[in-house]
Amino acid sequence: NGQSDIFLISLRRNSIKRLTKDIYDDINPKFIPGTSSIIFSSNRTSDSLKIEKKVNLEDLKDVYNLFVYSIDTTRNLLYRVTNTLSRNVNPTPTSTTEIYFISNQQGINNLYKFDIGRKLYTQVTNFRSSIQDYDLGPNKSGISFTMLDNGITSIYYYPNFNLNQNTFT
């Protein structure tokens, strides 16, 4: 019906479980290492999976925030990680306390890091062109990403990129 939902596929049980089912788009789900929780990006306005009121498609904004959902719970509540008026997408959790994601908070897609324990996010990159997609090397040993270069998607790799830096725009 036009919305993106999250499903959990169990190969061991040969089953599929639908985790989200509402008008909101839920994208880029990833498991948080060492937990039974997933983090994903969504344009939902509520921290609940159960939406009581009718939402009109025209009322949905292009604002995406990050949410965590424990698949071992029977509650329909989510933990909101970010709460901005920007597009926060493609989260990559590297531990239970650290998440990288792409955000257009400054108008250009750059990489950000969120520290769950301190509830603090910092900007890691400050590129002139928007990052389209990225991947972190093993043990955060570097970063590879795609971005437009003169209208052509190009792939870049920085093997010794400091993912702990705090960059200001």
Give the model confidence (pLDDT) of 146-164 as tens digits: 999 888 999 999 998 988 8
Q: Extract the tokens encoding 152.
A: 């052509």
Structure confidence at residue 57 (pLDDT): 66
- Whether residue 1 is predicted with pLDDT greater than 70 in this model: the reply is no
Structure confidence at residue 169 (pLDDT): 61
Taking the C-alpha atoms of residue 45 and residue 155, their distance in angstroms, rounded to an integer, is 34
The band of 124, judged by pLDDT with boundaries at 50, 70 and 90, is very high
- Whether residue 50 is predicted with pLDDT greater than 80 in this model: the reply is no
Taking the C-alpha atoms of residue 154 and residue 37, their distance in angstroms, rounded to an integer, is 33
Q: For residue 109, with 0-12 CB atoms within 10 Å meaning exposed, 13-18 middle and 19 or more buried, which class applies?
A: buried
Structure confidence at residue 51 (pLDDT): 66
Contact 104, 98 (CB under 8 A): no
The band of 165, judged by pLDDT with boundaries at 50, 70 and 90, is confident
The band of 52, judged by pLDDT with boundaries at 50, 70 and 90, is low
Taking the C-alpha atoms of residue 123 and residue 88, their distance in angstroms, rounded to an integer, is 12
Structure confidence at residue 46 (pLDDT): 79
3-state DSSP assignment of residue 89: strand
